[in-house]
Structures are given as C-alpha cells and as structure tokens.
Structure 1
C-alpha cells in the first residue's frame, strides 16, 4: 500500500511540474553585425501584423512605444558609437520610439530592464535621441524587423521595418581612430610593458637570461617613475644573470619604492634578497 501511495504522489508531482511549450506570438530575435571594428548586437521581439492596422492604430501616433513587443528592444556596442553627434559609450541601450505619420523620434535609453515602456520616463537616462523621416516600403513587412544595413568601415544604418513603414538611423563608429591607433602602436615598436612581460617570462621560464637582461633594461629605460614591482623583477633577473652589484642596486631601489608605497610584502622580499646577496 505504501508503494502505491508513493507512486501516486510521484505521478502527481510529475503532472504538476510538466510544462507545455508553445510558440511565442512575438518570437525573440538576436542580430549581430560587425561594422568596421565594432560589434553591434540587437535583441528584440518580433510581433506580426495579423491583418491589423499598425501605425496610427495598434501603435498610436505621438505616443511613446516600446519598439517591438515584450521586454525592451536592446542594442549593444562593444566600442563607442555616434548618433546625431551624440556619443553612445560602449554598452547596452533600450530603443524607444515616438512614431508619427511623417517622422519618428528615436531614443537610446540607458535603463534596459523594463517590460514595455518605463513606468516613469527619465530624461536623464536618454543617452541619445534623433528625429528621422518615415519611408514607405513595398511589399508590406508582416513581422516587425530591425536590421543593421548600408555598411561601410565607419558607418551603418539601423533600420526599423513594419507594415509599410521604414525608418533609418545613421550611426558612426571610430574605426579610423582605432586603426590608426593600432598602426601607430605597432609601428612605434613594443611598449615598456611588452619588454617587461617578455623579460619576466624569460626569467620564470628558464630561457635565455641574457636576453631577459636586455629586455628588462629597455623596459626600465622607457619608464620615468620606476615602480617597485618592476625594480624587483629587474633585481631578480640581474641576480640570475650573475650581475650581483646591479641586482643589489635594483633591490635597494625597489625596497625604497616599496616603503614609500606602503607595500610590506615587497619590503620583506627585498630585505631577504639583499641579506642573501650582500
């Protein structure tokens, strides 16, 4: 009897925990597009017309619209973007719109955690806004659609389509600045950190210590205010290379810098090394 009761309870639990999955009326869409060196990501829901009049009826003119369905329509950039001379810093923004017959106002809003429009609209959360003219399209677009089109190295258009209406938002990206920065960095040669990291790797990996000495000296020559941790590694490299006097000098400099910074761990390590080397 106990086994029957346990089995009955198990079947009841399974029945209550079972979930029936059905298609969403406004399915979720995710879009990724690289523009130059910037990744643009979109996440939004796609309602359908279903023989309804959309703009001016289902979506009233002159009222704030969630721009889609369900949760916020969100656009994300992994580098800064510019819309109407307004810089959108790398990050995520909700897209809200105020449609009208001949033009729309588009808002890029910093709060992306709303279901529909915010309960309280906060002008301070508008990172950028732009007014654009509507364009008529044929044939009708049954399902609400957003795309990133008209690509170039530094520009693209965010385009919103539904029914017979399309609006296009031009976006600019700092591709040229990023490329020129990369070019200048590479053409100017390795940085102090590059030489430092290479030198420390050679030290800890038991590679050519003489090469490690050359790299750490190049790194230190490029640094004006030499930090205690770099001086510490320089002393260890000199010590391993058998350059005791230079090792002691670097350790003393590291000790004084560590004292000034209040880092007792490095103070102790340098004192221990100096006691050993002297």
Structure 2
C-alpha cells in the first residue's frame, strides 16, 4: 500500500512539473519610458490583439468606462507635476481609464491605479483629471492595441491611443521652462552660502588647499551674516587653525561657542571649549 501511495505521489509531482510550460501572454505587457523636457514619464500597459473581432462598439462598448488595454490597469507615472487641459496632475502614478465614443472619448486619470479592470464602484473623487479627446479615423487597421508618446517638444507631449481604425490623443504639458528658468537664476546669482560652506569643509577634510578653503568659508559666513550657525563657525575656526591663523581661529571659536550655548548644544559647547584651551584662547 505504501509503495502504491509513493508511486502515485511521484506521478502527481511529475505531472505538476511537466505542466510548468511557459507560453506567450495573449495580451503582452509593455513598458515605455520617455523624457519630456526634464520630466520622466513611464507608461505601463497590456496589449490585446483584434483577432478578427470588431473592437469599438462591440468588444469595447461605447459610452462605458474601459480599462484602456487588458489585464492590470494601464498606469502612467510623472516625475513632476504636469498639466492636462489646464488641470494639474501632481507628480505620481495614475491609472488611465477611458470611455470610448464614436466622435470623442472621455479620458480619466484615476488615483487608484492598483488592481485589474475597472473599479467595481467608480469614485469621482479619485478622478485627478478628465479630458475629452477627439476621435481620428485611421486609414488602416491597427491589429495590436498601442499607446505612444507623440508630438514631443521640450514642454509637452501627446499620449496616443491606437487600436482598430481609431486614434485618440491626450496632450500634457511639463514644467520645463519653470525648472530651467529657476536653474538659470540660481547659477547666475552665483554659489550660495551653503555651496561655499560645503566646498570649504570638503577641502579641509580632504587636505586640499587650505587657503582656498579659508576664502570659501569666509564667503559663507559673510553671506550668512549675524545668522551664521554655530556649526559653520566651528568649521571656520578649524580651517583658520589649519591655515596657521590662530588669532582668527580663536575669534571664530568664541563666536561658535556663544551661538552653541544660545542654542543649548552641549556637544559644540564642549568642542569649542576644548579647542579654545588648545589654542590658548581660554
């Protein structure tokens, strides 16, 4: 009996192993990544085929919400805030649902992007943006459901939806000019106090030109003025000491000590006192 059970077990296991045959997905998954201006956009969707079927008005009914593809919900991800028909889509991921019509489609960017198919209960509060897009008839049949990024410019692109003899496009705008303008303004204004401070501390820690570090830390402290924090003043004292300017090191350490005491930072109070004793300032 035990021998018979063992044989049946081995047979069942072998059948299960033999069943592990990999076959092509009927609606293959696709992932597209596109840089639009300075914004990263990622589109993930599955691609069903026509297979001789009538698509719109039959397989995909008119005037009903459609998942826009197959399998899991079609998802689009923006690395920055974008605008769709004057509506702001915050940076993040959205499901794309559509409601096909003969002359136009409703296109929805839905915040609940997990799961497959359309939501069992549609929630209008989860519609981050809604666009009406015109239907353009295609001069040929598109066998496989396709989504594209079309009409790329430095500040916009169009999400294309193609299947059967239909093309629908949804334009979105990205904040390229705002980002570039801000970058230009920052560069043209020159390094910030934080930039000078970071460069000075790096030179100190890496044993590079200490006089250059001294110049940079002085600029950082001057730009901060009376609001120079105790940790920056501490680094200034260390740079001065390394440069052989003991008098300047003591003066900076005393300022750092006073600021640290006012802030209640005992660690910096102790470090400054220890340095002042070492440099003969106390």
Distance in 1 (CA, whole Å) between partners of 2:204 and 2:55 is: 68
SS at match of 1:62: coil
Alignment map for 1:228-267 (pairs within 5 Å) = 228-267=230-269
Question: How far did residue 9 of structure 1 move?
Answer: 8.1
1:141-191 deviation digits (Å, cap 9, x = unpaired): 111111010111112111101111111111111212222222222222222
CA RMSD of aligned residues (A): 2.4
Distance in 2 (CA, whole Å) between partners of 1:87 and 1:189 is: 32
Alignment map for 1:126-205 (pairs within 5 Å) = 126-205=127-206
Question: How far did residue 248 of structure 1 move?
Answer: 2.7
- TM-score of the superposed pair, with normalisation by structure 2: 0.88
Question: How far did residue 273 of structure 1 move?
Answer: 2.3
Which region of structure 1 is more displaced relative to structure 2, 77-86 or 202-211? 77-86
Question: How far did residue 131 of structure 1 move?
Answer: 1.0
Residue 70 (structure 2) aligns with: 69
Question: How far did residue 83 of structure 1 move?
Answer: 0.5
1:83-131 deviation digits (Å, cap 9, x = unpaired): 0111222222111111111111111122221211223332222221111
1:191-212 deviation digits (Å, cap 9, x = unpaired): 2222111101110011111110
Distance in 2 (CA, whole Å) between partners of 1:182 and 1:15 is: 63
Choose the corresponding residue for 1:272, options 253, 265, 274: 274
- TM-score of the superposed pair, with normalisation by structure 1: 0.89
Residue 38 (structure 2) aligns with: 37
Question: How far did residue 246 of structure 1 move?
Answer: 2.6
Which region of structure 1 is more displaced relative to structure 2, 113-122 or 264-273? 264-273
Distance in 2 (CA, whole Å) between partners of 1:87 and 1:239 is: 53
SS at match of 2:238: helix
Question: How far did residue 11 of structure 1 move?
Answer: 9.2
CA pair 244-86 structure 1, distance change in 2 beyond 3 A: same
Distance in 2 (CA, whole Å) between partners of 1:55 and 1:175 is: 36
Residue 112 (structure 1) aligns with: 113
Point out where structure 1 has 5 or more consecutive residues left out of the alignment: 1-5
Point out where structure 2 has 5 or more consecutive residues left out of the alignment: 1-5
SS at match of 1:223: helix
CA pair 106-219 structure 1, distance change in 2 beyond 3 A: same
Residue 122 (structure 1) aligns with: 123
CA pair 123-245 structure 1, distance change in 2 beyond 3 A: farther
Would you say how many aligned residue pairs link Structure 1 and Structure 2?
274
Residue 3 (structure 1) aligns with: none
Which region of structure 1 is more displaced relative to structure 2, 255-264 or 100-109? 255-264
Which region of structure 1 is more displaced relative to structure 2, 268-277 or 145-154? 268-277
1:212-236 deviation digits (Å, cap 9, x = unpaired): 0100111122225222322221121
